[in-house]
């Protein structure tokens, strides 16, 4: 990777993908660092960014082949097809959400081509990497969108309304899983006027739920379990699992809208709601399953479809952030810029990774797959 680093920004080719990995704002910032930026023609159109906007920001535009010629870094939202990268110089970086568990053959192809694949979804959850965390930025928007979609499917109003014709009761919203998406879902439902409750397996989230004005649903009599190291969930005792399941089942039956958010990287989504629990819910209720891309938290969920079971509508998108393309692109692009700029060496004219972050996100190097999670 030589001085005068060239960054290629590709048009996304995955079905339903509307985001783009650089915006005119981040193009200007990358150029200010000393990079040259080349954007594939039409890359920003699904996010309402015209080629002229990139040109005005100082980028070049061209075909995929022109953009990739002599590229040192290739930006993508989703992993580009290895066949598209045939002319890219060995040693070039491929940076984006690369889905290493879902498409291992693609990662092997990057290695065979001598490319250095950097999976941004593997970014460590440490303070200095927060501004580079694509999972957090995109999950935030996903939690917001989930509530809006559920509100649209729900046949009633969200807030309590007192009118001359009578009172309309506030909707009851239950959020299952209080990570970034869950917290945003709570905040959004509260802003719309709903009565909100939430649950999680981690004790630290109880205070977060309360801070947003929602009601925490936990098994108090046995003490809250499930808190692992680093804020991640740990295995709960069988007694606690039974008590939590009974509590949640009883609570679900009273809810109008449920948002599920539980995802485990590299594994099928955990089942949170069974068909029997759906059957106990009120007709007209709505469930939005943010884990739909990984099989769903809800039995019977079908990504990108609205399924009705026992009078309850179940929805979930395969790519929820893509339904907010302008904002999702802006945040994703800033994550990539923050990543590159944090390691930019002004004397070498390129980014140089350290081991803490480089070792965490590097999938391939020197013709081999090197990440321990992929080689174990």
Q: Annotated catalytic residue: which of 128, 191, 211, 232?
A: 232
Active site residue 232: yes
Residue 196 near residue 189 (C-beta atoms within 8 A): yes
Strand-pairing partners, residue 182, are none
Q: Annotated catalytic residue: which of 48, 130, 169, 237?
A: 130
Q: Which two tokens stand for residue 146?
A: 């989930």
Active site residue 125: yes
Active site residue 28: no
Exposed e or buried b per residue across 182-206, where buried means at least 16 C-beta atoms within 10 angstroms of its C-beta: bbbbbbbbbebebbbbbbbbbeebb
Alpha helices in 154-261 (DSSP H): 180-191, 205-211, 238-252
| CB neighbourhood size of 345 (10 A) | 11
Q: Annotated catalytic residue: which of 21, 47, 78, 136?
A: 136
The dihedrals phi and psi of 300, each to the nearest 5 degrees, come to: 90, -5
Q: Which two tokens stand for residue 189?
A: 């439902």
Active site residue 317: no
Active site residue 133: yes
Q: Annotated catalytic residue: which of 13, 48, 125, 304?
A: 125
Those residues with Cβ within 8 angstroms of residue 204's Cβ, 6 or more apart along the chain or in another chain: 227, 231
Q: Is 307 exposed, middle or buried (0-12, 13-18, 19+ CB in 10 A)?
A: middle
Strand-pairing partners, residue 174, are 197, 258
**Closest C-alpha among 25, 12, 143 to residue 79:** 12
Q: Annotated catalytic residue: which of 6, 21, 110, 133?
A: 133
Residues annotated as part of the active site = 125, 130, 133, 136, 232
């Amino acid at each position: 990777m030589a001085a005068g680093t060239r960054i290629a920004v590709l048009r996304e080719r995955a079905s339903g993908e509307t985001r783009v990995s650089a915006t005119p704002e981040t193009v200007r910032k990358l150029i200010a660092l000393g990079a040259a930026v080349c954007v594939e023609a039409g890359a920003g159109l699904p996010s309402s960014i015209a080629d002229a906007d990139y040109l005005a920001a100082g980028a070049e535009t061209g075909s995929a082949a022109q953009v990739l010629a002599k590229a040192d870094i290739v930006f993508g939202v989703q992993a580009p097809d290895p066949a598209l990268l045939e002319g890219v110089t060995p040693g070039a970086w491929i940076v984006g959400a690369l889905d290493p568990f879902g498409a291992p053959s693609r990662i092997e192809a990057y290695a065979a081509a001598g490319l250095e694949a950097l999976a941004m979804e593997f970014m460590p959850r440490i303070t200095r990497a927060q501004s580079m965390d694509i999972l957090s930025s995109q999950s935030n928007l996903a939690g917001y969108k989930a509530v809006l979609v559920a509100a649209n499917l729900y046949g009633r109003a969200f807030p309590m309304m007192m009118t001359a014709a009578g009172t309309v009761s506030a909707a009851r919203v239950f959020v299952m899983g209080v990570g970034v998406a869950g917290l945003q879902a709570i905040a959004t439902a509260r802003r719309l006027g709903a009565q909100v409750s939430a649950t999680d397996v981690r004790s630290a989230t109880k205070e977060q739920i309360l801070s947003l004005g929602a009601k925490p649903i936990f098994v108090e009599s046995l003490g809250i379990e499930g808190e692992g190291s680093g804020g991640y969930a740990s295995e709960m005792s069988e007694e606690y699992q039974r008590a939590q399941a009974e509590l949640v089942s009883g609570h679900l039956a009273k809810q109008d809208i449920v948002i599920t958010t539980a995802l485990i990287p590299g594994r099928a989504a955990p089942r949170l709601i069974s068909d029997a629990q759906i059957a106990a819910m009120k007709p007209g209720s709505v469930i939005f399953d943010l884990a739909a891309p990984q099989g769903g938290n809800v039995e019977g969920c079908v990504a990108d479809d609205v399924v009705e079971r026992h009078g309850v509508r179940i929805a979930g998108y395969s790519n929820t952030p893509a339904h907010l393309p302008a904002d999702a692109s802006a945040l994703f692009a800033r994550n990539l810029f923050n990543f590159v700029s944090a390691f930019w060496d002004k004397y070498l004219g390129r980014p140089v990774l350290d081991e803490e972050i480089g070792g965490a996100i590097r999938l391939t190097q020197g013709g081999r797959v090197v990440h321990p999670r992929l080689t174990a």
